[in-house]
Amino acid sequence: MDLINAACCTLFFFIASVVLAALSHKSEAEIAAVIFGFVVMLVYGVNTGVCVRRWRLGDQRPLQTSEYTRARTASRGEVETRPE
Protein backbone atom coordinates (compact mmCIF):
# COMPACT_ATOMS: atom_id res chain seq x y z
CA MET A 1 0.00 0.00 0.00
CA ASP A 2 2.82 2.39 0.78
CA LEU A 3 4.29 1.87 -2.69
CA ILE A 4 0.97 2.66 -4.39
CA ASN A 5 0.41 5.71 -2.16
CA ALA A 6 3.89 7.11 -2.85
CA ALA A 7 3.63 6.53 -6.61
CA CYS A 8 0.19 8.17 -6.82
CA CYS A 9 1.28 11.18 -4.74
CA THR A 10 4.36 11.60 -6.95
CA LEU A 11 2.22 11.56 -10.08
CA PHE A 12 -0.45 13.90 -8.68
CA PHE A 13 2.07 16.45 -7.40
CA PHE A 14 3.83 16.39 -10.77
CA ILE A 15 0.57 16.99 -12.66
CA ALA A 16 -0.55 19.72 -10.24
CA SER A 17 2.81 21.50 -10.42
CA VAL A 18 2.93 21.41 -14.22
CA VAL A 19 -0.65 22.68 -14.53
CA LEU A 20 -0.03 25.47 -12.03
CA ALA A 21 3.22 26.44 -13.76
CA ALA A 22 1.43 26.59 -17.12
CA LEU A 23 -1.60 28.53 -15.92
CA SER A 24 -0.04 30.83 -13.35
CA HIS A 25 0.07 34.60 -13.62
CA LYS A 26 3.64 34.68 -12.28
CA SER A 27 2.73 36.08 -8.89
CA GLU A 28 5.09 35.40 -6.01
CA ALA A 29 2.67 33.07 -4.27
CA GLU A 30 2.14 30.99 -7.41
CA ILE A 31 5.87 30.74 -8.07
CA ALA A 32 6.41 29.59 -4.48
CA ALA A 33 3.61 27.03 -4.86
CA VAL A 34 5.14 25.66 -8.08
CA ILE A 35 8.57 25.33 -6.46
CA PHE A 36 7.06 23.71 -3.37
CA GLY A 37 5.07 21.31 -5.58
CA PHE A 38 8.17 20.17 -7.45
CA VAL A 39 10.17 19.76 -4.23
CA VAL A 40 7.40 17.66 -2.68
CA MET A 41 7.18 15.64 -5.90
CA LEU A 42 10.91 14.90 -5.67
CA VAL A 43 10.57 13.80 -2.04
CA TYR A 44 7.68 11.50 -2.92
CA GLY A 45 9.72 10.23 -5.87
CA VAL A 46 12.58 9.27 -3.56
CA ASN A 47 10.08 7.58 -1.23
CA THR A 48 8.67 5.67 -4.21
CA GLY A 49 12.18 4.51 -5.10
CA VAL A 50 12.77 3.31 -1.54
CA CYS A 51 9.43 1.48 -1.56
CA VAL A 52 10.21 -0.21 -4.89
CA ARG A 53 13.60 -1.29 -3.59
CA ARG A 54 12.08 -2.75 -0.40
CA TRP A 55 9.35 -4.47 -2.42
CA ARG A 56 11.90 -6.09 -4.74
CA LEU A 57 13.91 -7.33 -1.77
CA GLY A 58 10.77 -8.74 -0.19
CA ASP A 59 11.23 -6.77 3.02
CA GLN A 60 7.89 -6.46 4.80
CA ARG A 61 9.14 -4.88 8.02
CA PRO A 62 8.01 -1.35 8.88
CA LEU A 63 10.63 1.36 8.43
CA GLN A 64 10.64 2.26 12.10
CA THR A 65 9.76 0.14 15.06
CA SER A 66 8.36 1.60 18.20
CA GLU A 67 9.40 0.55 21.68
CA TYR A 68 6.18 1.93 23.12
CA THR A 69 4.81 0.13 26.18
CA ARG A 70 1.29 0.89 27.27
CA ALA A 71 0.94 2.04 30.84
CA ARG A 72 -1.07 -0.10 33.23
CA THR A 73 -4.45 1.29 34.12
CA ALA A 74 -6.87 0.48 36.90
CA SER A 75 -9.89 1.01 34.66
CA ARG A 76 -9.99 -2.60 33.49
CA GLY A 77 -10.69 -4.05 36.89
CA GLU A 78 -7.53 -6.17 36.80
CA VAL A 79 -5.19 -4.42 39.12
CA GLU A 80 -2.00 -6.34 39.79
CA THR A 81 0.62 -5.16 42.18
CA ARG A 82 4.17 -5.64 41.09
CA PRO A 83 7.22 -5.03 43.19
CA GLU A 84 9.25 -2.23 41.64
Task: Write the DSSP string, 49-78.
Answer: HHHHHHHHHT--S-SS-----PPP-STTS-
Mean pLDDT of 12-21: 95
pLDDT in tens, 18-75: 999 999 898 999 999 999 999 999 999 999 999 999 989 986 666 565 666 666 666 6
Q: Do the beta carbons of residue 16 and residue 37 sit within 8 Å?
A: yes
